[in-house]
Amino acid sequence: MESKLRKYLSILALSASGGSIYLIPYIRYVFYDHQIAAMGITNQQLGFLSTIYAIGCMLLYIPGGIIADKTSTKKCIILSLLSTAVLTTIFAFSMNYTAALIIWFLFAFTTTFVFWGSLFKTIRLIATENEQGFIFGLYYMGNGIFGAIVNGIAIWTMRFSDQMNTQFSYAVLIYAASTLVSAILIWVLIKEDKEKSKELKVNEFKLSQVGGLVKNPILWIFSFIIFAGYAVYSSTSYFTPYLTEVVGITPEESGVLSIFRTYLFYILAPLSGIVADKVFKSTSKWFMSLFAILALLFLGVMLLPEGTSVIVVSLYTLLPGMFGLALYGIIFSIAQETRIPAAVMGTAVGIASIIGYTPDFFMSTMFGTWLDNFGASGYRYIFLFLMSVCIVGLLASFFIYRKVKLIHARESSK
């Protein structure tokens, strides 16, 4: 019982850390209009902040994953959280765009370098082989709930000022405080299981193993699934300005809906994991269904007739967020299905993330340019692009499903 309690407390601490550390680099998800107003920048400039962050992340995924496979993941996570809290506090008192570009690049070091691989390697080690989908889903549920609570507090503090720049500063400081709290939770609740690490040869990583991972086609297909899942998840943030600019609701109302799309729907992640583990008995097969549904939803938003009720449109925009989080909330659980060993999980996540998180590299800037150049019509281009991405994700999931099926057939025939 104590072991089970510790497992769930560990997931709670990891959820809080993941749910807080990425709030600030992606603050536009909830405070899109506030950030533009507070910093006095354009849609394109806001998108370029994400591009700068993505460039740093791309450079750091693999070296960070290698370090995560060789050192204490607990120490890596705590160091990352503390340094992110410091940078976030600095940004709260300096809304200058040039300074923000530097800070967003440094966020790549504090939120990605050793944190990313350490986080998912720790979750992989906590879960048994037959509960990967559920545990990853549980992590993302906690992640979403924590993010929703923090953003709810941030929105609540806005009542203390009528100025958007001051309101935005309050939100940033709330983010810094939540990241510091998460570091304390990791320090208190995470206990590294040395026996399990030894059993799975977790620290017996060799640099030569990187070559084997790079040559593994399943790892690259896994990367495309992450790409598609993350592209959908991150791009639902554009429903926030869509609802204010096209549909006509207030920024505060749109921000509340964004909390549901971006965070609260993570409560579906454990259920999604159970569906993958128990119903489909294959994460890749479940992903095929989710990507198909999402493609139809993005097509549907473009086909909504003029004059459709504001309430109907607002509620409809929640659906891509709901199914997107059901998918992204268990995206890394497919690593078990692809037979990636736990010993190289940090490095594998680093390699897969190079392709998987390229949406941050170009999509925000591209979408921002479309919106600046085409106005409300730019959203049509965004939704068409996302529908295409879902089709790519569906095909990649099908490839993994067929590949794994062939591997199982070969093993059964021996």
* Token pair for 106: 């440094």
Say whether pLDDT at 207 is over 60.
no
Instruction: Determine the Cα angle at 255 with ends 326 and 300, to 5°.
Output: 50
3-class SS of residue 205: coil
CATH superfamily placement of domain 2-190+206-413: MFS general substrate transporter like domains (1.20.1250.20)
How many Cβ atoms from other residues are within 10 Å of residue 166's Cβ? 14
- Please tell me the distance from the alpha carbon of residue 109 to that of residue 113, in angstroms, as a whole number: 5
Q: Are 15 and 182 in contact (CB under 8 A)?
A: no
300: CB partners within 8 A, 6+ apart: 316
Single-letter amino acid, residue 262: T
Q: Rounded to 5 degrees, what are φ and ψ at 242?
A: -60, -45
Q: At what angle do helices 164-189 and 73-92 cross, to 10 degrees?
A: 160
Enumerate the H helices of 22-131 as residue ranges. Answer: 28-39, 43-68, 73-92, 97-108, 115-126
pLDDT of residue 121: 79
Instruction: Determine the Cα angle at 172 with ends 190 and 13, to 5°.
Output: 10
pLDDT of residue 218: 81
More confident residue, 244 or 128: 244
Q: Where is average pLDDT lowest: 23-27, 201-205, 221-225, 372-376?
A: 201-205
Q: DSSP string covering 116-182, please?
A: HHHHHHHHHHHS-GGGHHHHHHHHHHHHHHHHHHHHHHHHHHGGG-S-HHHHHHHHHHHHHHHHHHH
Between the alpha carbon of residue 170 and those of residues 31, 250, 255, the distances in Å are 11, 19, 15
Mean pLDDT of the chain: 85
Mean pLDDT to the nearest integer, 175-202 = 78
pLDDT of residue 283: 87
More confident residue, 297 or 333: 297
Mean pLDDT to the nearest integer, 144-170 = 88
pLDDT band at 293 (very low <50, low <70, confident <90, very high): very high
Say whether pLDDT at 216 is over 80.
no
Q: Are 141 and 267 in contact (CB under 8 A)?
A: yes
DSSP 70: T
The reply to whether the predicted model has a pTM over 0.85 is no
Q: At what angle do helices 359-374 and 378-413 cross, to 10 degrees?
A: 150
Per cent of the chain over pLDDT 90 is 36
Q: Rounded to 5 degrees, what are φ and ψ at 70?
A: -115, -15
- Please tell me the distance from the alpha carbon of residue 91 to that of residue 108, in angstroms, as a whole number: 15
Mean pLDDT to the nearest integer, 239-251 = 86
Sequence spans of domains, the chain: 2-190+206-413
- Please tell me the distance from the alpha carbon of residue 48 to that of residue 290, in angstroms, as a whole number: 30
Q: 338, 399, 401: which is closest to 124 by C-alpha?
A: 338
Say whether pLDDT at 68 is over 50.
yes
Q: What is the pLDDT of residues 85-96, one digit of tens each?
A: 999 999 999 889
Mean pLDDT to the nearest integer, 219-246 = 89
Q: What is the pLDDT of residues 97-149, one digit of tens each?
A: 999 999 999 999 999 888 877 887 788 777 666 666 778 788 888 888 888 89
Per cent of the chain over pLDDT 70 is 89
pLDDT of residue 219: 83
* Token pair for 192: 């590294």
pLDDT of residue 1: 40
Q: 184, 174, 134, 122: which is closest to 151 by C-alpha?
A: 174
